[in-house]
Structure 1
Amino acid sequence: MENNKPNEKENSRRSFLKGSALAVAGFYIVPRHVLGGPGFIAPSDKLRVASIGVGGMGYGDVSGVFRSGKADIVALCDVDDTRAAKARQDHAKAAYYKDYRVMLEKEGKNIDAVTVSSPDHMHAVQAMMAMKMGKHVYVQKPMSHDIYEARVLTEAAEKYKVVTQMGNQGSSGDGVRQMVEWYNAGLIGEATKVWSWTNRPVWPQGIQWPSTPATPPADLDWDLWLGTAPYKDFVGNLVPFNWRGWWDYGTGALGDMACHIMEPPFRVLGLGYPKSAECSVGSVYVGEFQRGYFPESCPPSSHITLRFDRPGKEDLVFHWMDGGIQPTRPEELGPNEIMGDGGNGVIIEGTKGKMMCSTYGANPQLLPTTRTKEVSVPKTEYRVPEGDRGHYNNWVEACIAGYGSKEFNQLSSPFSVAGPLTESVLMGNLAIRSYDYRVPRAGSQNQFDYPGRGIKLVWDGPNMKITNFDPANQFVRRQYREGYSL
Structure 2
Amino acid sequence: MSKINRRDFLASTATFAASFSIVPSNVIAGLGKIPPSDQLTVANIGCGTQGLREMGSLLQNPKVRVVAVCDVNKFSTDYIDWSPHGIRNDIRETLGDDTWWEGKPGIPGGRDIGQEYVERFYAKNKPSGKYKGCASYEDYRELFAKEKKGIDAVKIMTPDHTHAPIALAAMDQRMHVVTHKPIANRLLEGRKVIQKAKDTGLVTHLLAWSDRPEYRQIKAWMDSGLIGELKEIHNWSYRPVWQQWTKRPSEAQAIPEGLNWELWLGPVPDIPYHKNYTHNVFRGWYEFGGGSVADMGHYSLFPLFETLGIDRSPVSARAFGTTTREEINQVYQWVKNDVAFPASCTIKWNFPAQASLP
**TM-score bracket for this pair, using the shorter chain length:** 0.7 to 0.9
Alpha-carbon separation, structure 1, partners of 2:168 and 2:12: 20
Preserved contact between residue 51 and residue 73 of structure 1 (Cα < 8 Å):
yes
Q: 1:139 to 1:292 in 2, by over 3 A?
A: same
1:57 to 37, 50, 61: 50
Partner of 2:7: 2
Alpha-carbon separation, structure 1, partners of 2:323 and 2:243: 14
1:89 to 116, 122, 126: 116
- 2:132 paired with 1:132: no
Q: Deviations over 1:231-280 (max 9, x none)?
A: 11111332211121111111112221222121221111222211111111
Alpha-carbon separation, structure 1, partners of 2:53 and 2:174: 24
- 2:287 paired with 1:248: yes
Q: Deviations over 1:182-235 (max 9, x none)?
A: 655655454321111111112233421111110121121111111111111111
Instruction: Report the residue type matching 1:305 in the other structure.
Output: K
Q: How big is the alpha-carbon RMSD for the aligned residues of Structure 1 and Structure 2? A: 2.7
The secondary structure found in structure 2 opposite 1:44 is helix
Q: CA deviation at 1:46?
A: 1.2
Alpha-carbon separation, structure 1, partners of 2:164 and 2:190: 8
Preserved contact between residue 62 and residue 115 of structure 1 (Cα < 8 Å):
no
Preserved contact between residue 283 and residue 291 of structure 2 (Cα < 8 Å):
yes
Which of these two proteins has the greater Rg computed from alpha carbons? 1
Partner of 1:99: 139
TM-score by length of 1: 0.55
Partner of 1:310: 353
1:217 to 242, 251, 256: 256
The secondary structure found in structure 2 opposite 1:170 is coil
Q: CA deviation at 1:140?
A: 0.9
Preserved contact between residue 286 and residue 292 of structure 1 (Cα < 8 Å):
yes
Preserved contact between residue 61 and residue 115 of structure 1 (Cα < 8 Å):
no
Alpha-carbon separation, structure 2, partners of 1:290 and 1:313: 49
Alpha-carbon separation, structure 2, partners of 1:194 and 1:78: 40
Preserved contact between residue 4 and residue 160 of structure 1 (Cα < 8 Å):
no
Instruction: Report the residue type matching 2:299 in the other structure.
Output: H
Q: 1:243 to 1:44 in 2, by over 3 A?
A: same
Partner of 2:194: 154
Q: CA deviation at 1:126?
A: 0.3
Q: For structure 2, list consecutive stretches of 5 or more residues without a partner in the other structure.
A: 1-5, 14-28, 76-108, 120-132
Partner of 2:275: 236
Q: CA deviation at 1:105?
A: 1.2
Q: CA deviation at 1:66?
A: 2.7
Partner of 2:335: 292
Instruction: Report the residue type matching 2:182 in the other structure.
Output: P
Alpha-carbon separation, structure 2, partners of 1:220 and 1:108: 24
Instruction: Report the residue type matching 2:206 in the other structure.
Output: M
Where do 1:328-347 residues align within 5 Å? Answer: none
Alpha-carbon separation, structure 1, partners of 2:179 and 2:73: 19
Preserved contact between residue 310 and residue 354 of structure 2 (Cα < 8 Å):
no
Alpha-carbon separation, structure 2, partners of 1:165 and 1:91: 23
Q: For structure 1, list consecutive stretches of 5 or more residues without a partner in the other structure.
A: 9-35, 316-486
Which segment drifts farther, 195-204 or 69-78? Answer: 195-204
Alpha-carbon separation, structure 1, partners of 2:355 and 2:305: 19
Instruction: Report the residue type matching 1:255 in the other structure.
Output: A
Q: Deviations over 1:299-332 (max 9, x none)?
A: 11111111111158775xxxxxxxxxxxxxxxxx
- 2:204 paired with 1:204: no
Partner of 2:152: 112
Alpha-carbon separation, structure 2, partners of 1:299 and 1:279: 11
Partner of 1:386: none
Q: Deviations over 1:365-417 (max 9, x none)?
A: xxxxxxxxxxxxxxxxxxxxxxxxxxxxxxxxxxxxxxxxxxxxxxxxxxxxx
The secondary structure found in structure 2 opposite 1:264 is helix
Alpha-carbon separation, structure 2, partners of 1:186 and 1:45: 51
Q: CA deviation at 1:175?
A: 5.5
Instruction: Report the residue type matching 1:159 in the other structure.
Output: D
Alpha-carbon separation, structure 2, partners of 1:79 and 1:37: 31
Preserved contact between residue 214 and residue 235 of structure 1 (Cα < 8 Å):
yes
Preserved contact between residue 122 and residue 227 of structure 1 (Cα < 8 Å):
yes
Alpha-carbon separation, structure 1, partners of 2:31 and 2:332: 70
2:35 to 15, 39, 42: 42
Q: CA deviation at 1:178?
A: 5.6
Partner of 2:300: 261
Instruction: Report the residue type matching 1:123 in the other structure.
Output: H
Alpha-carbon separation, structure 2, partners of 1:183 and 1:115: 38
Alpha-carbon separation, structure 2, partners of 1:56 and 1:292: 32
Partner of 1:193: 232
Where do 1:327-406 residues align within 5 Å? Answer: none
Preserved contact between residue 315 and residue 350 of structure 2 (Cα < 8 Å):
yes
Alpha-carbon separation, structure 2, partners of 1:198 and 1:276: 21
Greater RCO between the two (CA within 8 Å, min separation 6)?
A: 1
Q: 1:251 to 1:244 in 2, by over 3 A?
A: same
Preserved contact between residue 3 and residue 134 of structure 1 (Cα < 8 Å):
no
